[in-house]
Amino acid sequence: MIQVSLFRFLQRSAFGALLLVLLVLLSTQSFADDERYIKINRSIELFGRVYQEIINNYVDEIDPEKFMRAGIDGMLNALDPYTVYIDERGRDEVDLLTTGRYGGVGITIGMRNGAVTVTSVTDGYAAQKQGIMIGDRIIAVDGVNVEEISLSDIRSIVRGEPGSEVAFLIERESHPDYLEFKLIRESIRVHNVAYADFIDDGIVYVKLDRFSRGTGGETRQSLREMQTKSEITGVILDLRNNSGGLLDAAVEVTNVFVPRGSLIVSTRGRTSDSVRRYVASQEPLLPEVPLVVLINENSASASEIVAGAIQDLDRGVLVGKRSFGKGLVQTVAHLRSNEQLKITTSRYYTPSGRSIQTADYLDESPEGLFAVDVDSLHSEYKTSAGRIVFEGKGVDPDTTVTNPERSRYAGQLNRHAMIFRFVNRLVHSEEFADRQPVFDDILLDRFFDFLREKNFEYKDIGEEMVDNLREAAEKGNYSSQFFNDLAVLEEYIKEGKSHAFERHRDEIARELQVEIASRYAGDRGKIETELQHDVQFKTAMDLITNKPLYTLQLTAAD
């Protein structure tokens, strides 16, 4: 029985609505264990009393709503990282996944050299039609100075009901005055398929950015369009850096490739309604065409459902790096009008029966919170052809390939947005206002001159090591000779640093080419330019065009 005194307290408190929802849910459940029910009831009452005591008597006045949010976040932090409370500001992301649309003006923003900057503009929407450009620095949105709020808060202001107005104050390269824009928000449709086209004779490359509503249909339609152009002899599906989305969308995408009736994924949780089997319900579009799936450490959730199913059913070969390892399924529970709880309700399992969830959150949570044997999550399983795969650590590719890491020098160029700012100058110059610059050594030398003009400086790793050595030597009271030798070493490092641009010239050239392509040819041009230097993609191409090697990858060892 729920105590009346507790109900009265909850009705008066700022967080009453949330806990009342929880109590109502508890009162409608049938508890087989009375002791467990008593523990839950006592815990809720204790939580309420602590909250009331602090709100009423703490030395400093506390905002009741914000304190409640802190309490919710603290409680959820003891669980997995995907169980989260969602307020009105976070609903846009949920709506984006479930509807494939959001209300906005068609821009993406990010930080570039400490400034809030437009990093992409979607064709056909208000921002593009009225002249906002990549590289524009946002000063204010609807009169709010963006320096005073976070990126997520800025996005919340920019997004809103289609048909409503939002004002921007913009600073633009080579323009003397601020620019003012008043844009009408529209319903922005998000395209899940970032790229789909022939990349070579008969080979189609498909890149998926996310798994929201309609992704499966987009993927199937894109491949059908390719079939009308020419025969498809191979498909490369790129899921790298795709953090996932809807489970249903992952099932639909997998269904494009695997035989009808194949088990794609199953889910199991504590309740009976969490146990489900998702089976391919349609005929595959290209059942016999070789398939290579690209994954990396940022391929997560729905991406791993697709990759795991393709691997377990021996439908294609996985190339790249081990995936992220998110094997948990979330359900959104509505609390109040603008508040939701995204709660993990089950684990998903690939067709072989393995879970790919990394067990980190189980290890890091308070002792005794979970009654789970972590060591039990690392068993061997077998694909349809008998190949051995493992659970509990993400999805391992069949062929591991690592793209070269960005150098420290190029990383510093990126951190200070030097390439981004240089291309801004090109775009806004009369010379290249209406034509894409030809990339050559002359343009690269112009970028070097730009770096000198901007007095670009960076700290070499050797300089950091010398600083650490000097600090250690000072604490250890080393001899003066040691410091003399250290000074000589420092001069060698400085000499080498002065030639950093030449040492990294090829890498800088690649990144500059990509940025130029993105400005003058959009996302399509950017992707095509990136692929020219992509080791993982080139491995996929070599594999998909070598039938004996491709077949060998899908054959179990004797």
CATH number at residue 304: 3.90.226.10
Nearest to 185 by CA among 149, 158, 147, 153: 158
Residue 6 in this model has a pLDDT that exceeds 60: no
- Residue 550, domain member (yes or no): no
256 in the same domain as 198: yes
- Over residues 125-136, mean pLDDT: 92
From the list 207, 321, 326, 526, the catalytic residue is 326
State both tokens at 83. 């169980």
12-51 pLDDT per residue, tens: 444 554 554 455 455 445 444 677 788 888 888 998 899 9
Instruction: Kindly list the distances between the CA atom of residue 196 and the CA atoms of 208, 291, 342, in Å, as whole numbers in the listed order.
Output: 9, 14, 32
Range name among 82-86, 233-237, 298-302, 385-389 with the lowest pLDDT average: 82-86
- Over residues 422-429, mean pLDDT: 92
**Is position 312 annotated as part of the catalytic site?**
yes
116 in the same domain as 14: no
- Over residues 413-438, mean pLDDT: 91
- Residue 429, domain member (yes or no): yes
- Residue 514, domain member (yes or no): yes
CA distance linking residue 86 with residue 102, whole number of Å: 17
318 in the same domain as 267: yes
- Residue 259, domain member (yes or no): yes
What is the 3 state secondary structure string of 176-241?
Answer: CCCEEEEEECEEEECCCEEEEEEEECCEEEEEECCECCCHHHHHHHHHHHHHHHCCCCEEEEECCC
- Domain-terminating residue out of 189, 220, 255: 189
- Residue 555, domain member (yes or no): no
59 in the same domain as 167: no
Residue 359 near residue 392, CB atoms below 8 Å: yes
- Domain-terminating residue out of 189, 222, 256: 189
72 in the same domain as 34: yes
140-166 pLDDT per residue, tens: 999 999 998 888 889 889 988 899 999
Residue 374 in this model has a pLDDT that exceeds 70: no
Show contacts of 362-366: CB within 8 Å, 24+ apart: 365/78, 365/79, 366/78
- Residue 335, domain member (yes or no): yes
435 in the same domain as 467: yes
Nearest to 295 by CA among 286, 284, 312, 308: 308
Residue 136 near residue 171, CB atoms below 8 Å: yes
387 in the same domain as 409: no
**Is position 301 annotated as part of the catalytic site?**
yes
- Residue 197, domain member (yes or no): yes
330 in the same domain as 262: yes
371 in the same domain as 272: yes
From the list 13, 262, 299, 301, the catalytic residue is 301
57-108 pLDDT per residue, tens: 999 999 998 898 888 888 888 888 888 888 766 666 776 777 778 889 999 9
> What is the predicted pLDDT for the residue at 26?
52
> What is the predicted pLDDT for the residue at 35?
79
> What is the predicted pLDDT for the residue at 536?
98
Of the pLDDT bands very low, low, confident and very high (cuts 50, 70, 90), residue 366 is low
336 in the same domain as 470: no
- Residue 469, domain member (yes or no): yes
Of the pLDDT bands very low, low, confident and very high (cuts 50, 70, 90), residue 359 is low
| Mean pLDDT across the chain | 87
Total structural domains within the chain: 4
427-463 pLDDT per residue, tens: 989 899 888 999 899 999 999 999 999 999 888 888 8
342 in the same domain as 275: yes
Range name among 335-349, 448-462, 540-554 with the lowest pLDDT average: 335-349
176-233 pLDDT per residue, tens: 889 999 999 999 888 899 999 999 999 999 999 999 989 999 999 999 999 999 999 9
From the list 92, 238, 312, 398, the catalytic residue is 312
- Domain-terminating residue out of 376, 400, 424: 400
339 in the same domain as 285: yes
Range name among 5-14, 387-396, 539-548 with the lowest pLDDT average: 5-14
Residue 239 in this model has a pLDDT that exceeds 70: yes
Residue 486 near residue 392, CB atoms below 8 Å: no
Whichever domain contains 144, its CATH number is 2.30.42.10
**Is position 547 annotated as part of the catalytic site?**
no
397: exposed, middle or buried (Cβ count in 10 Å: 0-12, 13-18, 19+): buried
Residue 21 near residue 30, CB atoms below 8 Å: no
Residue 132 near residue 170, CB atoms below 8 Å: yes
What residues make up the domain containing 170? 101-189
Share of the chain above pLDDT 70, in %: 89
Residue 514 near residue 532, CB atoms below 8 Å: no
Residue 196 near residue 222, CB atoms below 8 Å: yes
